[in-house]
Amino acid sequence: MKIGFKEFKDEIDILVEFLTSDTWEFYGTPNLNPERIRASYENQYYTGDDCKTFWIILDQDTKVGMMRIYDLQDGTPLFDIRILRKYKGMGIGTSAINWLTDYIFNNYSDKDRIEGNTRQDNYAMRCVFHKCGFAKEAHYRKAWVGQDGKPYDAIGYGITKEDWQNGKTTSVNWNDFKC
């Protein structure tokens, strides 16, 4: 299995087909509307000065996922990753996040950290963050309302350039304050 990455270039019809072909259970909107995707594209949600989108390609021609990096003009970029359900559990997420981390730190010299967020019950993504050297940095209680209307905890992860360069993960001191 060979995983590759290709920058998204005005392939709006393919993007719409991809995003509407699956249910994205850990997102606020698990089933996306084609008109909303097109409107977001027109508003430079997927490409522009502040963001880039990449296809995750399996064996040179099959689009199995996508990653959107945003807030590139801010101090700390964030990202969104989506992998089609039938390709989950194959290590694609770990390969993609490692690639994304290398891409950002190698191409944006002013970036000293990267952040990502997920729902507490998205155990697969939490494992990917851990495997890729991201440290848990935040726990927001009942901060992510799911499509079912139920509030879930949101978990924030981050990686610093220093940890990435040294191949280590520096944990946050959760007990640095006493009353």
Asked, for residue 44, whether it belongs to a domain, the answer is yes
Position 60 scores a pLDDT of: 87
Mean pLDDT of the chain: 95
Position 124 scores a pLDDT of: 96
Per-residue pLDDT band at 102 (split at 50, 70, 90) = very high
The CATH number of the domain where 61 resides is what? Answer: 3.40.630.30
Per-residue pLDDT band at 178 (split at 50, 70, 90) = confident
Asked, for residue 174, whether it belongs to a domain, the answer is no
Calculate ∠ Cα 72-15-128, nearest 5°: 60
Asked, for residue 179, whether it belongs to a domain, the answer is no
Per-residue pLDDT band at 148 (split at 50, 70, 90) = confident
Per-residue pLDDT band at 78 (split at 50, 70, 90) = very high
**Residue 41, domain extent:** 3-166
For the stretch 163-176, pLDDT in tens is 999 999 999 998 88
Asked, for residue 94, whether it belongs to a domain, the answer is yes
Position 75 scores a pLDDT of: 86
Cα–Cα distance measured from residue 137 to residue 154, given in angstroms and rounded to the nearest whole number: 11
How many structural domains are present in the chain? 1
* pLDDT of 64 over the 90 cut: yes
Position 18 scores a pLDDT of: 96
Asked, for residue 30, whether it belongs to a domain, the answer is yes
Asked, for residue 46, whether it belongs to a domain, the answer is yes
Asked, for residue 177, whether it belongs to a domain, the answer is no
Return the closest-CA partner of residue 66 out of 83, 51, 79, 78.
Answer: 83
- The three-state DSSP-derived secondary structure of the chain is CCEEEEECCCCHHHHHHHHHCCCCCCCCCCCCCHHHHHHHHHCCCCCECCEEEEEEEECCCEEEEEEEEECCCCCCCEEEEEECHHHCCCCHHHHHHHHHHHHHHHHCCCCCEEEEEEECCCHHHHHHHHHCCCEEEEEEEEEEECCCCCEEEEEEEEEEHHHHHHCCCCCCCCCCCCC
Position 179 scores a pLDDT of: 85
Asked, for residue 176, whether it belongs to a domain, the answer is no
